[in-house]
A and B are shown apart, each in its own frame.
Chain A
Amino acid sequence: MRPIMMVVLGTNVRRREWLPSEGPALIVANHNSHLDVFALMNILGLSRLRHVRPVAAGDYFLTRPLRRWFSTRIVGILPIDRTKTKRDCDGKHPLEPISEVLRAGGIVLLFPEGTRGEPEKLESFQTGVAHLAKRHPDVPITPVFMHGLGKALPKGETLLVPFFCDVFVGEPLNSTLPKKEFMNQLDTAFSKLSEELPVQTW
């Protein structure tokens, strides 16, 4: 994947040095394409790769055998069941697997839009990230805005067309805010980062 990311696609990263150098850390990014995860892993580099766990939809990635094998064995996803939002009967919080990784010092990649959605359009964020902030106030949360991969491989397409991808790293968020303010903060961070893009009118 790494040579494909570097040669076929290529990334323009701004403020790479703001990325967390070690875990525990939470990286939140917007989601346009299956390639997003590989772009982020590529930027984080081999030294951090062992600790990186991308959060992914269990109801999508665990359904077919090949997809399941690739995503759990090769990419090392952290499957979350999107259909469950409440505590189940054994009292486990649905976000507990993420907390476990964070407590173990891992770097978690989270796409709070919850789905890839329309290419290059920002969907509204799910509030799971606010719960995580509340549960782990000491873990830095770094917003990363990505643009371009939705053009290279959008949802539902199989033909990869090469495009450069822009990756803008933002300042770590303030995890101490209450849920609503935290979500506002997240929205502002992303709209600020997306404003760095050159204007495209059509």
Chain B
Amino acid sequence: MSAVGSLETTGKRTPDKALRKPRRTMLVERPRWWVYAILGAIVAGSLFPLYWSYVIASTTSGNANARIPVLVPGGNFLSNAARVIDTIPFWGALANSLFISVVVTASTLFFCTLAGYAFAKLPFKGSKWLSAFVVLTLAVPPQLGAVGLYRLMADWGWTGTIGAVIFPVLVSAFGVFFMRQYLEGVIPTELIEAARMDGAGQFRTFMTVAVPAARPAAAVLGLFTFITTWTDFFWPFLVLRDPDVQTLQTALAQLWASSGNNPDMSLILTGSLMSIIPLLILFVIAGKQLVAGIMSGAVKS
């Protein structure tokens, strides 16, 4: 799983002389209109649920339940948003989600870079064996230990606190593996030795050599960790039973569960839309890196 392999090969697609001969141009010429039409339809399909939830979120509850659904947005989004904020602790949940995701991302980046660097560049006994073990742990689905983890958090008195959400994901096997793969390729061993000759201690060598080198991989790993943490539901849903301490995802579950058998769809969809907006903003800013990360084979979990 090379981190940059496939990206490099994309650069080799420039047409060479042979390709310019008439018979072969079919492979490099711009695709026909229908390719764009299909792709346009696919992108429209991925946008439509979001558009439609805005339609319902911006209409009145009466319209949302109409037999013939409305198809254009109304003007009630803000008043619906105000109702969401009255019904669930929205700002608290937003703050919690943000705090959890930032802390988990920062800690994952630090610990995974540290461990990845040790596995990639520092010789020590058992290195190979231990790093194989890290990969092996990837195969254990987190749901399976839920009962035991819940019991543990209860013993610590952590149930219902965001600490219980943060602690289990402070460092990830995937992150360690990913950083090891990346750092193995980009840090010349001479550089580490040069830093040592200059009298840098082990940790200073890490900070001055490994950390700057890890930056591109860290950007990708950070983005994916942030998104995964933000969208996580199963574990927070189990452990955050106190209605006052919620993440955005569990607050949404609460919003719907509390509305009983006749759910107010405009209220609920307003809530879900409000929960999506922060990640949509992140996507607009960093979507390009996200695409590059997936394309480089960086994130296969």
- State yes or no: do A and B come from one complex: no
Tell me the B residues contacting A by CB distance below 8 Å.
none
Tell me the A residues contacting B by CB distance below 8 Å.
none
